[in-house]
Structure 1
Amino acid sequence: MDVDLARGIGGAVNRVLATAQNGLEVLRFGGFDTGTEPAPFQVVETEKMFRLRRYFPDDEGAGAHVILVHPMMVSANIYDVTEEKGAVSVLHRHGIIPWVVDFGSPDREEGGKERTLADHIVALSRIVDIVRETTGCDVHLAGYSQGGMFVYQCAALRRSKGIASVITFGSPVDVLAALPLGLPAGLAAPGAEFLADKVFPHISIPGWLARTGFQMLDPVKTARSRLDFLRQLHDRDALLPREDQRRFLEDDGWVAWSGPAIAELLRQFVSHNRMMSGGFVINGDLVTLAEITCPVLAFVGTADDIGQPAAVRGIVRAAPKADVYEYRLPVGHFGLVVGSVSGNQTWPTTAEWIRWCEKLGPMPDDVEPMSENPAGSGTGVTMASRVQHGLNAVADASVGIGRDLVDSAVSMQRTSRAIAAESVRTVPRLFRLGQIQPSTRISLGKLMSENNRRAREKELFLFENRVLTHEQVNTRIDNVVAGLISCGIRPGQRVGVLMDTRPSALVVVAALSRLGSVGVLLTPDLDISVGVKMTEARVIITDPNHLDIAREHSNRVLVLGGGSGDSRVIEAADGETVVDMEQIDPDAVPLPSWYRPDPGLAGDLAFILFTRGATFELTPWPVTNHRFAISAFGAASAAGLTANDTVYCLPPLSHPSGLLTTLGATLVGRSRIALSNGVDAKTFSTEVLRYGVTVVSYTWTMMADVVRSPDFEINQHNPIRLFMGSGMPAGLWADVLDSFPRAHVLEFFATADGSAILSNVSGAKLGAMGRPLPETSAVKIAAVDGDWEILRVGDDGFIAEAGVDEVGVLMSSARHRFATNGPVLSDVFGSHDRWELSNHLFRTDSDGDLWYMGAVGSVIASPGGPVFRPPIEQALSLVRGVDLVTVYRVHVGGDGDGGDGDGGVDLAVAALTVRDGAADSITVSTLRGALGGLSAAERPHLITIVGSIDLSESYRPLSSGLAAKGVPKPGPRVWYRDEEGRYRRFTKAVATELGWS
């Protein structure tokens, strides 16, 4: 017994002595000397941003080449932590030649603290070129954590050129799908935006803080690892195998992180999640992961709390053109690339993958095509995965239960949080709109000035793969203002604008607003001479494409856009003045004392647009700054626009949807605006993904050229959430929803002669105009008698309101403080009220939603009763195979003058165009079914299939050419309505019998 006691005491003493000795070595040297040597490498290229290492440089053997990329906060040595299990050693043993990118530590590199995220990606692309030039073959690009994000972004920037495959380890793509610590995206996104804007542009993260932050993501594991180390401190031999890894994690492996790079990461890839949506910016180039075409292998750590599986698997949706595979490991974030599991599985599998891509071997075992959401994967790291990872069961259960409780609470409160978030965006906008008085300074130019002060360096315009920031645009506007002043343009002057919808056109309109002039928006498909005469716009600003047209209608033309320089020659003919504004030096223009930027008041005239009424006559539409503000703020609120949105502008700037709804609402929402270079399916599909488009603006039938084109292909995981505009036919509306099932359509209606603005916010009723936007004028439908222009008086002497489904005239409440365009009536529905009378007919359904029935002058007064065009056009547009529809009036019989006493009658004719191969599907039965919701008297007298229907520049179907031809000639594709409302073939005999020949 005494011997055993002595042995026990001796053992304890030896253990204490060993602990003290080992502890002293750790304190003095930071750890144990393991005797291991790093793998040999040679720095083959050194540039400001990087040093490029080639490992095992003396090995001249042939093999595939892989470039390994480290995250910004972790040292490049992460790929060589242990001698036997390190990435470079394992890959080399499997015949792969490893190259490692070393970005260094920013706090030790010249200019390192000013590095941006784009600097790293551009540098990586440069490295790919270097290795390809050296080796003569394409390379495999691999990255861990944020290094993998770099790899994705570089492959997208290069559009996979020169890249054989992409390999990532715990690299999130859909960042907001699953954040570390279970942070809700609704809180993380605005928090990231705040940090990106206010904090990290001014500070950087030192290496020790990066290490501390990493360890705090899993404090239980960190504490347990340190406790295990202390408990085994007496046993040097037990600690040595993991000593290199411990020292890397505790000290050697961490480097500083530059503030601008963090800010860019937070803004683009956390707050806006543009790895998923596309449209992120790399040195002025717009990039999307959708342009990755090479094979992708993503390693997924099922216990990874940083690169969580749901976030990593976002790549399968973000890169639809790539073949995406995954390999799952029951490890955490660090264990994917360092440790025994990575040495035995990660790196051998990586080598086998590279050999498979090179057609030198089979697909690695357990590598499988990635699924978006594998069964049982959930949205985060499961409790079972944590247990497999070796965490303490009790601690893990507590964390898991807590996470489940948090998830449940988040789920229960999701609706209320969404409502609260929407209120935070919407209420201030509506409050500001409600506070506007005639003397309030508000204008397009002022909104752009305000956004420039708040978000100077953020993107505003996207066009042809170019990016312009608020500051760049604002500077350009000020320069154009100087040019306008030098050309003699003054506040209040009406100036024609005849330009394509490009950044230069938007700048011109904004510059006129900033100067206080009135922009008259002209288009080639209008009668420009009439428009110029109506508005007294004696000066026209144009681009080179429309110079010849502008010179035909004005003797004073200013040319802007299209470049400048000695090669640009613009000559003026006799009696005209043509000024090339690109040749004006804005710095040499003295600004007069009267110039005050953005002087526009709410009651001032801001723009003049043009419309065509039922008689197709050109009608000017004056738009005050208040009207602009109503449309801009109202549309931004209805669409829920935020800084996360990129709005794709398809309409021309001369159309209200382009100027008011798109440009105005985008500025109010502080969103990005992407300008299209044409409306066609291929351009649309490419630019939506490249720009990261979330909202598409349209007019009339514009989307038909996209969704009905045989060339239309779109990633079903595209970022579009909303289509907003006006005039979309119900049939096209249905096709758009079929093509974009996760989006909805927001249809607007605005009167040209009043202040009513309606929107179908819910999008539930195809073709409905909805209700008035908040803080815009209230509307009522006045009952009418006879010819639709006489208001019906009720028993109390006031105008009666139309009943449910009764057609009446739209009237909007007239505010005393603003001038109006239409006639204003007093004491209409009650004493002392004021209502502005429109010339538009509506009906109200039982839910209170408004349906457009056409302009007063568009009603076709047929012998059987009035025929309204819009309901017919909407109904026929829903017929399968129909492309375009227009309804028009044809006068037959009488003396031909169309007057009330000529003895003739007016017929309603519906003209259809059909899609390729669909003509035979248009039958009497389909027409009867389509128009079944209308009474017999409300249906068109004739329906004809025509070869084409003309479209305006805004894609509105035009019927004037068809109407001029009179009654359609009898034939197999023309039908007439009989007395019972049924359709029959229109023959010569029928035409003669009815007197319609």
Structure 2
Amino acid sequence: MSRIPSDAITWGMMLRKLPALVSVVPRIVKGRKLVYVRDPAQPCGLGWSFEQATQRNPQGPALLCGDMALSYAQVNEQANRIAHYWLAQGIGKGDCIAIFLENRPHLLITLLAVAKVGAVSAMLNTSQTGDALVHSLALVAPVAVVVGDERVPAFEEVRGRTALSSARTWWLADEQGAAVPRGFVDLLGNSDDYPGDNPASSRQVFFNDPCFYLYTSGTTGLPKAVIFRHGRWTRTSTHLGLIALDMRPDDVLYCPLPLYHATGLCMCWGAAICGASGFAIRRTFSAGRFWSDVRRYRVTTLGYAGELCRYLIDQPASVEDRCHGVKKMIGNGLRPGAWAAFKTRFGVEHICESYAASDGNIGFTNLLNFDNTVGFSLTGWALVQYDHGSGRPLRNLQGRMQKVPKGQPGLLLARIDDQAPLDGYTDPVRTEEAICRDVFAPGDRYFNTGDLLRDLGFGHGQFVDRLGDTYRWKGKNVSTTQVENVLLQHPQVAEAVAYGVEINGSDGRAGMAAITPSESLATLDFGELLQFLQARLPACAVPLFLRIKVKMDITGTFKYHKTRLRREAFDPCVMGDEPVYAWLPGSRTYVRVDRQLATQIQGGQFDY
């Protein structure tokens, strides 16, 4: 993919960042002292951190949502009442409580109460139902569950397949005056008369104690449960809130992301708590109401993920696009094509793009505000060569792994040590599968992230692709991320998802892309689009097939669903009214694929 412009960081670029570097170094020194706790009896984590923020800014806004505004003191007191109630009910340190609520203030108040008790919150994906929900519950064996009124129907469908008792099935109202469903216990009503002071248990939570079970997608399609400890919460909160964003009590961070995911829950909320800052949330993301919310809450900092920023760019331009107080933003997954456009249109000074994984032990952050980079990491890492077929890292004759040359994509490995411990999965076998041993020296250990990154220089990384998304065609590796970025440069393409599909008798996977036209299908010139792609991509990377979609399917964290697209490939029989087009060998345009042509392609009548 050598035709893609280089974003390499040079000495000249670094010299221009010296003022920023000078200002951030003291925060790095202070932050590292705070997060690397050496005393095993030192309290830390979510509950303790929130109590410290409450002392620092008791009357400042802690949670903002709709017409509701709760101060740090109010939120802390409500969480304390629930914590004292749970302690009286026999909930103790290490117990798991499953949480099944959509984004709203009482979700976060409940999580604080769980943390103060020393229990563990299992963050159920609120879109889950049926078998997936049962599987997620079985992974963590909760002793109790908290169900929001909005998720009662989904829970009732699977209730008989769980071992949870009615006495520990707590319910949280979504509206005032709502009746408690049969078989549930009213959490707020039963905890209202309990003390509002900090429970002693919150000072008995330490670095290695679990805080959350977060769910990540598994290779079977069912989720895996990741352990997220209080020590990692402290590192994440401090690194982003203090070192990266320098959050203050007069800041407000707006996060329209789902809070069952680490980006919203740990990165964004953690940064706000670190600064004793306001945290504004929304039940669901709305591109049309995004900036009105920002102005309403007097937001200074944004949280984002995936395609969220592009959805904002796609909104009609307005004279109010720059009428806000936002100076910085934190998140991940911002495409290079949208980076400059977002900065220019909305006037945001600092895009603090980050890289991290729920199941990993490393984080990169763009502290120095370079473009198109996830920044650098304060912990050890390496980019190594890997087998393009299996995806496994390669070893030399001495049994050691080999680093890739600077600027070349490589598999990211994160060193596991005292400064970057690996919390792992609830399943120890899964954890062991993700660890590489004796990588560069006997006894060393690294976490295999499964992601491809590029070293831009001066320790700065650039995300290239998920290893499972990269495919191989005609003996060449093709990065779906880079193909998507080129497609999005075309004025007639609004959305693009690239992936590899199989053609019978061909070596590797052929390139395919699902695209959403900016206007209508009738205005899309397929011959011109093919010429556009050929001029900007190597021959092996030009998509052989195009699928036209009116709307893309995305996850709750603004990422595209690729599994179904790969499975359906270019078979017009399973695509309904979504047309698919093929670039046939020797032709100069894409042609419509019908059942007969698809059969001919799979039957080997075309020499690909």
How does the TM-score come out when normalised to structure 1? 0.52
Letter in 1 for 2:123: L
Deviations 1:626-669 (A, max 9, x none): 22222222222222322332100111111111111100111112
Structure-2 change in CA distance of 1:876 and 1:580 (3 Å): same
Deviations 1:413-459 (A, max 9, x none): x9998766545544322321234566543211111011112221222
Stretch of structure 1 that moved more, 977-986 or 742-751 = 977-986
Matched, 1:632 2:237: yes
Which structure has the larger Rg over C-alpha atoms?
Answer: 1
Question: Which residue is equivalent to 1:753?
Answer: 359
Q: Report deviation, 1:505.
A: 0.7
Distance, in Å, in 1 between the alignment partners of 2:527 and 2:41 is 60
SS at match of 1:784: coil
Alignment of 1:77-88 (within 5 A): none
Question: Which residue is equivalent to 1:671?
Answer: 277
Q: Report deviation, 1:911.
A: 0.5
Structure-2 change in CA distance of 1:992 and 1:661 (3 Å): same
Question: Which residue is equivalent to 2:73?
Answer: 471
Structure-2 change in CA distance of 1:929 and 1:851 (3 Å): farther
Q: Which has the higher helix share?
A: 1
Structure-2 change in CA distance of 1:539 and 1:848 (3 Å): same
Structure-2 change in CA distance of 1:738 and 1:419 (3 Å): closer
Question: Which residue is equivalent to 2:171?
Answer: 559
Question: Which residue is equivalent to 2:45?
Answer: 443
Q: Tell whether the 8 Å contact from 1:682 to 1:712 is kept in structure 2 after alignment.
A: no
Question: Which residue is equivalent to 1:530?
Answer: 135
Question: Which residue is equivalent to 1:884?
Answer: 495
Structure-2 change in CA distance of 1:420 and 1:561 (3 Å): farther
Distance, in Å, in 2 between the alignment partners of 1:996 and 1:947 is 30
Distance, in Å, in 1 between the alignment partners of 2:459 and 2:601 is 41
Question: Which residue is equivalent to 1:460?
Answer: 62
Alignment of 1:191-210 (within 5 A): none
Structure-2 change in CA distance of 1:781 and 1:692 (3 Å): same
Question: Which residue is equivalent to 2:179?
Answer: 569
Structure-2 change in CA distance of 1:644 and 1:440 (3 Å): same
Letter in 1 for 2:404: A
SS at match of 1:967: coil
Distance, in Å, in 1 between the alignment partners of 2:259 and 2:184 is 23
Letter in 2 for 1:608: Y
**Once the two structures are aligned, what percentage of the paired residues are identical?**
19
SS at match of 1:853: strand
Letter in 2 for 1:754: G
Q: Tell whether the 8 Å contact from 2:45 to 2:234 is kept in structure 1 after alignment.
A: yes
SS at match of 1:956: coil
SS at match of 2:385: strand
Q: Tell whether the 8 Å contact from 1:516 to 1:598 is kept in structure 2 after alignment.
A: no
Matched, 1:838 2:452: no
Question: Which residue is equivalent to 1:517?
Answer: 119
Q: Tell whether the 8 Å contact from 2:214 to 2:227 is kept in structure 1 after alignment.
A: yes
Q: Report deviation, 1:706.
A: 3.2
Within the candidate set 521, 543, 546, 1:943 is matched to 546
Letter in 2 for 1:859: T
Stretch of structure 1 that moved more, 975-984 or 747-756 = 975-984
Q: Report deviation, 1:494.
A: 1.4
Q: Report deviation, 1:532.
A: 0.7
Question: Which residue is equivalent to 1:603?
Answer: 208
Letter in 1 for 2:406: V
Matched, 1:686 2:289: no
Distance, in Å, in 2 between the alignment partners of 1:872 and 1:690 is 38
Distance, in Å, in 2 between the alignment partners of 1:992 and 1:883 is 30
Letter in 2 for 1:552: E
Q: Report deviation, 1:520.
A: 0.8
Stretch of structure 1 that moved more, 706-715 or 597-606 = 706-715
Q: Tell whether the 8 Å contact from 1:651 to 1:698 is kept in structure 2 after alignment.
A: yes
Q: Report deviation, 1:856.
A: 3.2
SS at match of 1:703: helix
Distance, in Å, in 2 between the alignment partners of 1:810 and 1:588 is 49
Q: Tell whether the 8 Å contact from 2:331 to 2:352 is kept in structure 1 after alignment.
A: yes
Distance, in Å, in 1 between the alignment partners of 2:282 and 2:483 is 32
Alignment of 1:731-880 (within 5 A): 731-766=337-372, 768-772=373-377, 774=378, 777-794=379-396, 797-816=399-418, 818-821=421-424, 822=431, 823-845=434-456, 848-880=459-491
Q: Tell whether the 8 Å contact from 1:807 to 1:853 is kept in structure 2 after alignment.
A: yes
Distance, in Å, in 1 between the alignment partners of 2:95 and 2:392 is 38
Matched, 1:539 2:144: yes
Alignment of 1:33-182 (within 5 A): none
Q: Report deviation, 1:931.
A: 6.7
Distance, in Å, in 1 between the alignment partners of 2:42 and 2:589 is 58
Q: Tell whether the 8 Å contact from 1:497 to 1:520 is kept in structure 2 after alignment.
A: yes
Distance, in Å, in 1 between the alignment partners of 2:79 and 2:521 is 50
Q: Tell whether the 8 Å contact from 2:572 to 2:579 is kept in structure 1 after alignment.
A: no
SS at match of 1:802: coil
Alignment of 1:499-514 (within 5 A): 499-514=101-116
Within the candidate set 716, 719, 725, 2:322 is matched to 716
Distance, in Å, in 2 between the alignment partners of 1:590 and 1:632 is 25
Q: Report deviation, 1:979.
A: 6.1
Aligned pairs, number: 565
Distance, in Å, in 1 between the alignment partners of 2:603 and 2:516 is 22
Distance, in Å, in 2 between the alignment partners of 1:866 and 1:415 is 34
Distance, in Å, in 1 between the alignment partners of 2:20 and 2:384 is 37
Q: Report deviation, 1:811.
A: 0.7
Alignment of 1:95-494 (within 5 A): 422-435=24-37, 440-494=42-96
Question: Which residue is equivalent to 2:514?
Answer: 911
Distance, in Å, in 2 between the alignment partners of 1:535 and 1:423 is 40
Distance, in Å, in 1 between the alignment partners of 2:18 and 2:117 is 44
- List gaps (5 residues or longer) in structure 1: 1-413, 895-902
Letter in 2 for 1:656: A
Deviations 1:767-800 (A, max 9, x none): x33322x3xx211011123525443334665321
SS at match of 1:549: helix
Structure-2 change in CA distance of 1:975 and 1:803 (3 Å): farther
Structure-2 change in CA distance of 1:892 and 1:511 (3 Å): same
Deviations 1:900-959 (A, max 9, x none): xxx886433210113345862564444554575543223433222212221212222213
Q: Tell whether the 8 Å contact from 2:414 to 2:447 is kept in structure 1 after alignment.
A: yes
CA RMSD of aligned residues (A): 3.4
- List gaps (5 residues or longer) in structure 2: 1-15, 425-430
SS at match of 1:798: coil
Q: Tell whether the 8 Å contact from 1:443 to 1:602 is kept in structure 2 after alignment.
A: yes
Stretch of structure 1 that moved more, 680-689 or 611-620 = 611-620
